Amino acid sequence: MKKMRKLGALMAAGALVLAACGGDDESATTDTEAATEEAATEEASGCIVGVSWNNYQEERWAKWDEPAIKAAVEAGGGTYISNDAKSSAETQASNLENLISQGAQVLIVLAQDGTAIKPAVESAIGQGVPVVAYDRLIEDPKALYITFDNKGVGRLEAEEIFKRVPKGRYVIVKGSSTDANADFLREGFEEVIGAAVTAGDIEIVSETYTDNWDPANAQATMEQVLSAEGNKVDAVLAQNDGMAGGVIAALEAQGLAGKVPVSGQDAEQAALNRVALGTQSLTVWKDARELGKSAGESALALCANPDASAVAGASPFTTPGGNSISSIFLTPKPITQDNLNEVIDAGWTDQATVCQGVTAGSVAVCP
């Protein structure tokens, strides 16, 4: 069906050019451009966009990302379908084929394992189904990579913690080793604290990856570190809010919550409350509504033209694997007690959620 629409559009464009042969060149050009634009609109309208979630149980995917993707697809006349890999790389590979068998003409893939999913992505692209690597890198030069500036997120996390603890014993709790974002974030950390580590002002007493970014695993890691170090820890760079929650639970058990600065990202509801309470120093807000909107609109654009480099806003990015991939990077924002009002004003959360259990007047947004 997709190929037939393209052929019809090309024939229509050709007919307009032939019809214009007896007229001036400007008229012919204008008619051709109009036909091309109309063809692109027709191609996007009715496009079936398949989304493969790595683990739909995580708070942000269901609450923010999916509604934004779905709204953008449907606003452009497309149809949204999806499935969930439930944290299984093997399941996700078969899920891509399943989406294609349901008629998906373009795929948005939130990779469970960016390396393991590569053959399935290559197969999809080989079948003429473009792929958007959503929020997590997939090393395929023909895919479109859409995410926030993850190295920038790492810098923002480290800047706030380093401001509070310029010298001391640091713990670094990284995300999954199968997710390139964990390494991008670590690069951002290094840009901020690297010189202090070299100078001996900062000692990294523990640095570990965390399978599946699992808060329970992060909590267990932090408990082990506290035990091994006799609770002598001054700061924790936790790469996301879920893991920050696990870290803070371990600190709380030792009477250290609120005394040891902890970072995070995603602006999860519980994390925003922890920021207000003072047990988490900051979260980095990545407005997933904007990310989802960008992915949905880009998917429709790829339905009309599978060339990822032609998508509005895309620019080349050289990956850790040395591939040049067309990418769209959105800008993140740090949230501390000083600017919690911004997420409330934007409708990301509400005052009651942020201020639950917070002593009235201790934070500006909780009078």
Reported as a single tens digit per residue, the pLDDT across 257-297 is 999 999 999 999 999 999 999 999 999 999 999 999 999 99
pLDDT score of 60: 85
User: 88 and 144 in one domain?
Assistant: yes
Say which residue the tokens 């919690």 belong to. Answer: 340
User: 106 and 126 in one domain?
Assistant: yes
User: 321 and 249 in one domain?
Assistant: no
pLDDT score of 58: 83
pLDDT per residue as tens digits for the range 74-121: 999 999 999 999 999 999 999 999 999 999 999 999 999 999 999 999
What value does the mean pLDDT of the chain take?
Answer: 90
Q: Does residue 16 have a pLDDT over 90?
A: no
Distance CA 314, CA 326 (A): 6
Crossing angle (nearest 10°) for helices 269-277 and 241-253? 40
Report long-range pairs for 7-10 (Cβ below 8 Å, ≥24 apart): 9/35, 9/36, 9/38, 9/39, 9/42, 9/43, 10/39
Distance CA 300, CA 78 (A): 7
Query: Would residue 103 count as lying in a domain?
Result: yes
pLDDT score of 23: 42
Determine which of 54-68, 285-299, 309-323 has the lowest per-residue pLDDT on average: 54-68
pTM (2 decimals)? 0.80
What is the total count of domains within the chain? 3
Query: Would residue 350 count as lying in a domain?
Result: no
Query: Would residue 169 count as lying in a domain?
Result: yes
Out of 330, 345, 362, pick the residue that ends a domain: 330
User: Tokens for 117?
Assistant: 């999913």
Distance CA 308, CA 325 (A): 8
Look up the domain containing 27 and give its range.
2-32
Query: Would residue 115 count as lying in a domain?
Result: yes
Q: Does residue 7 have a pLDDT over 80?
A: no
User: 172 and 241 in one domain?
Assistant: yes
Q: Does residue 38 have a pLDDT over 60?
A: no
User: 132 and 89 in one domain?
Assistant: yes
Q: Does residue 209 have a pLDDT over 50?
A: yes
**Do the Cβ atoms of 355 and 363 come closer than 8 Å?**
yes
User: 161 and 105 in one domain?
Assistant: no
Q: Does residue 70 have a pLDDT over 50?
A: yes
Distance CA 254, CA 269 (A): 24
pLDDT score of 13: 38
Mean pLDDT within 50-60: 91
pLDDT score of 42: 53
User: 119 and 155 in one domain?
Assistant: no
Query: Would residue 337 count as lying in a domain?
Result: no
pLDDT band at 57 (very low <50, low <70, confident <90, very high): confident
Q: Does residue 206 have a pLDDT over 80?
A: yes
Phi, psi of 349 (to 5 degrees): -150, -175
Query: Would residue 11 count as lying in a domain?
Result: yes
pLDDT band at 315 (very low <50, low <70, confident <90, very high): very high
Distance CA 350, CA 38 (A): 43
User: 161 and 256 in one domain?
Assistant: yes
pLDDT per residue as tens digits for the range 294-308: 999 999 999 999 999
User: 71 and 165 in one domain?
Assistant: no
**Do the Cβ atoms of 69 and 95 come closer than 8 Å?**
no
Estimate to the nearest angstrom the gap between the alpha carbon of 10 and the chain centroid.
36
Q: Does residue 26 have a pLDDT over 50?
A: no
Estimate to the nearest angstrom the gap between the alpha carbon of 226 and the chain centroid.
31
Residues present in the chain in total: 367
DSSP string, 250-313: HHHHTT-TTTS-B--BS--HHHHHHHHHTSS--EEE--HHHHHHHHHHHHHHHHH---GGGSTT
User: Tokens for 51?
Assistant: 């989304």
User: 218 and 69 in one domain?
Assistant: no
Out of 250, 265, 280, pick the residue that ends a domain: 265
Out of 265, 280, 296, pick the residue that ends a domain: 265
Distance CA 10, CA 17 (A): 11
Report long-range pairs for 118-125 (Cβ below 8 Å, ≥24 apart): 119/93, 120/92, 120/93, 120/94, 120/96, 121/96, 123/96, 123/97, 124/96, 124/100
User: Tokens for 96?
Assistant: 């891509």
Q: Does residue 195 have a pLDDT over 70?
A: yes
Q: Does residue 1 have a pLDDT over 50?
A: no
User: 22 and 60 in one domain?
Assistant: no
pLDDT band at 45 (very low <50, low <70, confident <90, very high): low
Query: Would residue 74 count as lying in a domain?
Result: yes
Mean pLDDT within 115-143: 97
Distance CA 235, CA 161 (A): 7
User: C-alpha distances in angstroms, 241 versus 57, 112, 325, 347, 351?
Assistant: 15, 18, 28, 19, 19
User: 155 and 260 in one domain?
Assistant: yes
Query: Would residue 81 count as lying in a domain?
Result: yes
pLDDT score of 59: 78
Domain with 105 in it: what CATH number? 3.40.50.2300
Rounded to 5, what percent of the chain is helix, strand, coil? 50, 15, 35
pLDDT score of 269: 96
pLDDT score of 153: 98
Other C-beta atoms lying within 10 Å of the C-beta of residue 21 = 8
